[in-house]
Amino acid sequence: MKVLRNWFDKQKPHLEKGGKFHMFKSGFEAIEVFLFVPNHTTKQGTHIRDYVDLKRTMSVVIVALIPALLFGMYNVGYQHFVATGQQLSFWPVFGFGFLKVLPIIIVSYVVGLGIEIAAAQMRGHEVNEGYLVTGMLIPLVLPVTTPLWMVAIAVAFSVVFAKEVFGGTGMNIWNPALVARAFLFFAYPSQMSGDSVWISLGDKAIIDGFSGATPLSQAAAAAAKPIAEVAANHGISYSLMDMFLGFIPGSIGETSKLAILIGAAILLFTRIGSWKIMLSTVLGGLFMGTILNIFAVNSYMAVPAWQHLMMGGFAFGAVFMATDPVSGAQTNRGKWIYGFLIGVFGIMIRVVNPAYPEGIMLAILIMNMFAPLIDYYVVQGNIKRRLKRAIVKA
Amino acid sequence: MSKVIKLKKGLDIQIKGEPVNNLEHIGMPETFAIKPADFQGLIPKLTVAVGDKVKAGTPLLFDKYHPEVQYVSPVSGEVTAINRGERRRILEVVVKADRGILSEDFLKSDPLKLSGDAIKTELLKSGIWPSIKSRPFGIVARPADQPKAIFISCFDSSPLAPDYDFIFKDEANTWQTGINALSKLTTGKINLGLSAKKENRIFLETKDVEITLFNGPHPAGNVGIQIHAVSPLNKGEIVWTIQPQDVIMIGRLFLTGKYDSSRIVALCGSEVKEPKYFQFWMGGSLTGLLKGRLDRKNARIISGNVLTGKVVASDGFLGFYDSIVSVIPDGNYYEMFGWALPGFGKYSPSRTFFSWLGSKKKKYILDTNTHGEERAFVLSDEYEKVLPMDILPVYLLKAILVNDIDAMEQLGIYEVIEEDLALCEYVCTSKIMVQSVLRKGINNMIKELG
C-alpha cells in the first residue's frame, strides 16, 4: 500500500502542466482518488466534514442495483433454457446469463468512462462519479440481445449529449441512462421491442408454443381483441408470482420486482433515494390505473391498477430512474408532484398508446423536462410567503 | 409560562471532547491581540504605534467608515507588534501585558437612569460596542441604526459547546445590569432564546425581557434561527444580536466603570487531555492555555467551535467573539479505499456508513480531512434536513453563485449568516464551501445596498 502511494506521489510532477504526461492528468487523478481518499483538509468554513462523498453515495446505489443485476443474469439464462426447452441446474443457468450480460456492462463502462475522462481532461476538471451509476443502469434497461456496438453508440450519445454538453454530473436535464434507452428505442426500434428481442437464444431454435412476449406486449396485443375473447388474465400468460419474482422476459434488470424492492429498501434506508418520489410515482400509477379501470373499454384498460406495478419497467423506473436527484425535482413539494405525474403518464402512455409499451421511460423523460418548472413554482411559493410576511407586519 | 418552540430539523454532531463542568484558574497570558479579521467587513485604521503604552480600554483601531466604533486593548501594557499580511493588511495588533490590569476610567452608573444615547456613547468609548452585531449580514452594529429588537441566544447548541448554566452561574447581577443597558438601545423588546432542555439558572429570572424556549438539535441555539422562529427579518428591518458573555461585560462596565475582558473559556476537543473550563481573557495568547494540555502535536487549534471557528496557531490569540477553543486531529492523510470500506467507526449522519448501527450517544473523534473532493450539487434535501428555517438553501446558494441580487433578496439572504448554514456545509456530499459562498453573497449585498 505504501509502495503504491509512493509511486503515485512520484508520478505527480509529470502530470502537471508542461509535464510529459499532462494529457492523462484527469484519468490519473480519477484512479488515484479511487484508490485513496485524498489528504485534503478543510481550509475555511467548517473544520469537520461528513465522511460521505459522491463516491460513497454512488457506490450505495450500485449496491442497491446488485440484486436486480444478479437476478437479471439468472433470468437471462432461465429464459434461454425455457425457450429452447432445456432444463439445467442453477449454476449453468446463471453462468449463461453472466456471460451474456457481462460484455454489455464492460462496453457500457469502458465507453462511458472513456468519454467522461476525455471530457474532464479537455475542461481541466476532475472526473465525476455520476457515470458509475449510469454505467450500471444502462445495461439493466436493455434487452439482452442488444448488439454491443449499439450499446456503445447509445452510451456515447447519452454521455455526450445528455450530460457533458450540459457540464457533467449535476448539470444534466435528463437522466442519462434513460436517454441511452430512448435513443436506442427510437433509432433501432426493431432491436428494442417486439417479441423476439428479450431472450438470448444463441444458436438454438425456439421450441413450439413459446412466444417470448413480455406481459406488457401480451396485454397490449389482447387490447385489440374484444374483452369477451380475452381470458380472465387479460391475455397475460404469466402468473402474478412469476411477474413478481421476475421469471418473465424483459429488459435485463427490470423483471424481478422482488430484487427491485430489495434495492428500494437499500436506497430508502440509506436515505439516498427519495421516498417521496418513489411513493408518489406508485400512487400516480395506481391513480391512473384506477381511472382506466373505471372506463375499461378494452382488456388492457381492465388490467387492475396494482398489476401495472408488476409489469414492464414501472417498478425499476420508479425506484432507480425517477429518484435521480439531478434530473428530478429538487424541492420537497416538487417531488410529490413530479413523482405523481410520472406514475400517471407512465401508465397512460403504456395503455393508451400501445406503440410505446415502455411508457414509464418516456414519462420520466417528460417529467425530467418539467422538473425545473415544478421547482420554479415551489420556489416562487417560498418567495411569496416571505413577501406576504412583510406586508402583514407593515 | 414562556412559549416553547420545537424545532425538528438540525443535527447534534456526535463529536468527542465535551468540556466537563470544572473550572481552572490559570495565569494571565503574556500577550494579547486584537484581530481585525474577527469583524466582518472592517477596514481598520490604527490609532497606536509600536512602543505605545496602553490601558485596558484604550483604542487600538477604529473603523474607517464608522470612526466612532473603536476597537480597544483588552489589557494594559505596551504595543509590541503590528503584524501585517498580504497587501499590508493588518492581521494582529499585539499588546504585551503588564502584571496587573489597569483600565481606563469609564462612567459608573445605573444604566436604568441613563439615556439611550448616553449608554451608546459609553459602549462606543469603552470598545464593547463591536460585540453588538446587526442582522441582516452579521456585521458590527452601526450606532445610527434603529433596531426593531435585540435578540440574545442564551444557550450554545454547537458541537462541544460550553454550558452557559455553568459558566455564568455567578453573574446574575452583571447579567441583569447588562440587559438593562441594552434595553435602552431599542424601542422594541429584548428577546431571549432559552434551551428547553437546560436549567437556565440566571436567564429565566431576567426582568423586562421576552423569553422563548427552544427545543431541538443544533442550530436551535443560533440566534439567526431564533429570530426566524420568533419574528422573521424582512427587507429593511434591522435587529441586533449579542452573546451573553458580552452582555455580562456591559454589566461589569456599568457596575465598576472598568473595562474587564475576562471570560470563562472552554478548552475542548478530542486532542485535549482534560476538556474543561478556564478563567481566561478575550484576545489572550493561547500559548499558556494549551501548554501541556494537548495530547499530540499534529492537531488543528480552532478559536471557536468546529463548524464556524477560525484556525489559530498554537501561539495564536483567542478571537473577539469566542468562548471556546476546540482542538481536533489534523486530517492530512491518505486512506486506501476509504470511500468503499464499511465504515463501522466512521460517524456519518448520512446513513451510508455502518456507524448508524451504533449508539446515538457514542462520541467519535472527527478530523479535518474533507473525505472527498468538491463536486457540483447532486443530492437534494440534504441541506433542508439540518436547517430549521423556511428557506431553500440550495436555491439561495445558486443565486449567490450567479450573483443574482434580486433572487438572493427574495430567497432570504437577510435572514442567514454563515453559522446558520454551517451544518449544511458539514453534511454536504458534494463538499461545497457553503459558508464562504454565503459570505461572498452577503458581501455583494452589502456593496449593492451601500
Which of B309, B332, B343 lies nearest to residue A41, judging by beta carbons?
B332
pLDDT tens-digit series, residues A15-37 = 777 777 777 777 888 888 888 88
pLDDT of residue B1: 57
List CB contacts of B19: < 8 A, sequence separation 6 or more.
B160, B162, B163, B266, B267, B268, B275, B276, B277
At A232, the pLDDT band (50, 70, 90 cuts) reads low
Over residues A248-262, mean pLDDT: 92
pLDDT of residue A27: 80
- Could you tell me the strand order of the sheet in which B53-54 lies? B31-34, B90-97, B77-84, B53-54
B271 touches chain A (CB under 8 A): no
Identify whether the C-beta of residue B194 lies closer than 8 Å to the C-beta of residue B212: yes
Which of A5, A47, A51 lies nearest to residue B334, judging by beta carbons?
A5
Angle, to 10 degrees, between the axis of helix A130-140 and the axis of helix A90-123?
140
Question: What are the Cα distances from residue B161, in Å, to A46, A284, B177, B200?
Answer: 15, 47, 25, 15
pLDDT of residue A225: 63
- Judge: B390–A385 Cβ closer than 8 Å, yes or no: yes
Residue of B nearest to A389 (CA): B234
pLDDT of residue B372: 87
pLDDT of residue A206: 73
Partners of residue A50 in chain B, C-beta under 8 Å: 348-350, 371, 426-429
Partners of residue A53 in chain B, C-beta under 8 Å: 339, 371-373, 375, 429, 431
More confident site: A357 or B203? B203
For residues B226 and B154, what is the distance between their CA atoms, to the nearest angstrom? Answer: 11
Q: Is B274 exposed, middle or buried (0-12, 13-18, 19+ CB in 10 A)?
A: exposed
Complex ipTM > 0.95 = no
Partners of residue A169 in chain B, C-beta under 8 Å: 375-376, 378
For residues B435 and B441, what is the distance between their CA atoms, to the nearest angstrom? Answer: 10
Identify whether the C-beta of residue A127 lies closer than 8 Å to the C-beta of residue A163: no
- Judge: B234–A386 Cβ closer than 8 Å, yes or no: yes
For residues B141 and B184, what is the distance between their CA atoms, to the nearest angstrom? Answer: 15
- Judge: A330–B15 Cβ closer than 8 Å, yes or no: no
Residue with cell 380472465: A232
Identify whether the C-beta of residue A256 lies closer than 8 Å to the C-beta of residue A72: yes
Query: For residue B268, what are the β-bridge partners?
Result: B326
Which of B339, B392, B418 lies nearest to residue A56, judging by beta carbons?
B339
| All three cell numbers of A63 | 449496491
Which of B372, B376, B377 lies nearest to residue A53, judging by beta carbons?
B372
Give me the total of CB pairs closer than 8 Å, taking one residue from chain A and one from chain B. Answer: 201
Question: What are the Cα distances from residue A6, in Å, to A28, A175, B166?
Answer: 14, 39, 50
pLDDT tens-digit series, residues B169-215 = 888 999 999 999 999 999 999 999 999 988 887 898 888 899 999 99
Q: Which residues of chain B have pLDDT under 70?
A: 1
First to last CA, chain B: 42
- The CA distance from B79 to the nearest CA of chain A, in Å, is 30
pLDDT of residue A5: 81
B338 touches chain A (CB under 8 A): yes
pLDDT of residue A392: 58
Whole-number mean pLDDT of chain A? 87
Q: Sketch the domain layout of chain B as residue ranges.
A: 3-12+107-256, 28-97, 265-329, 370-449
For residues B65 and B47, what is the distance between their CA atoms, to the nearest angstrom? Answer: 15
- Judge: A48–B435 Cβ closer than 8 Å, yes or no: no
For residues B107 and B261, what is the distance between their CA atoms, to the nearest angstrom? Answer: 17
Best CA proximity match to B303, nearest among B321, B276, B291: B321
- The CA distance from A316 to the nearest CA of chain B, in Å, is 20
Query: What's the CATH fold of domain B28-97?
Result: OB fold (Dihydrolipoamide Acetyltransferase, E2P) (2.40.50)
Most A CBs within 10 A among B303, B351, B375, B409, hence the mutation to make, goes to B375
Which of A37, A271, A332 lies nearest to residue B335, judging by beta carbons?
A37
Partners of residue B343 in chain A, C-beta under 8 Å: 51
Over residues A236-265, mean pLDDT: 89
Query: For residue B90, what are the β-bridge partners?
Result: B84
3-state secondary structure of B160: coil
Whether residue A231 has pLDDT greater than 60: no
Question: What are the Cα distances from residue A53, in Å, to A25, A176, A203, B159, B274?
Answer: 21, 21, 46, 21, 33
pLDDT tens-digit series, residues A201-211 = 777 777 776 77
Residue B56 is given by DSSP the state: B
pLDDT of residue A230: 53
Residue with cell 434530473: A327
For residues A215 and A243, what is the distance between their CA atoms, to the nearest angstrom? Answer: 8
pLDDT of residue A394: 46
pLDDT tens-digit series, residues A102-141 = 999 999 999 999 999 998 888 888 888 888 999 999 999 9
List CB contacts of B341: < 8 A, sequence separation 6 or more.
none
Partners of residue A386 in chain B, C-beta under 8 Å: 232, 234, 390, 410, 412
- Is it true that B3-12+107-256 and B28-97 share their CATH fold? no
Query: For residue B325, what are the β-bridge partners?
Result: B267, B304
Contact map slice: B 410-429 vs A, CB within 8 A: 410-412, 418, 422, 425-429
Best CA proximity match to B140, nearest among B253, B249, B221, B238: B238
pLDDT tens-digit series, residues A281-330 = 999 999 999 999 898 777 788 888 888 888 888 999 999 999 999 999 99
Which of A47, A60, A385 lies nearest to residue B352, judging by beta carbons?
A60
What is the CATH number assigned to the segment(s) B3-12+107-256?
Answer: 3.40.50
- Judge: B369–A40 Cβ closer than 8 Å, yes or no: yes
Which of B235, B308, B348 lies nearest to residue A52, judging by beta carbons?
B348
> What values do phi and psi take at B84, rounded to 5?
-120, 155
Residue of A nearest to B233 (CA): A390
Question: What are the Cα distances from residue A114, in Å, to A24, A26, A107, A182?
Answer: 12, 11, 10, 22
Partners of residue B326 in chain A, C-beta under 8 Å: 47
Element (H, E) at B262: strand B262-268
B235 touches chain A (CB under 8 A): yes
Partners of residue A271 in chain B, C-beta under 8 Å: 350-351
pLDDT of residue A224: 63
Query: For residue B79, what are the β-bridge partners?
Result: B95
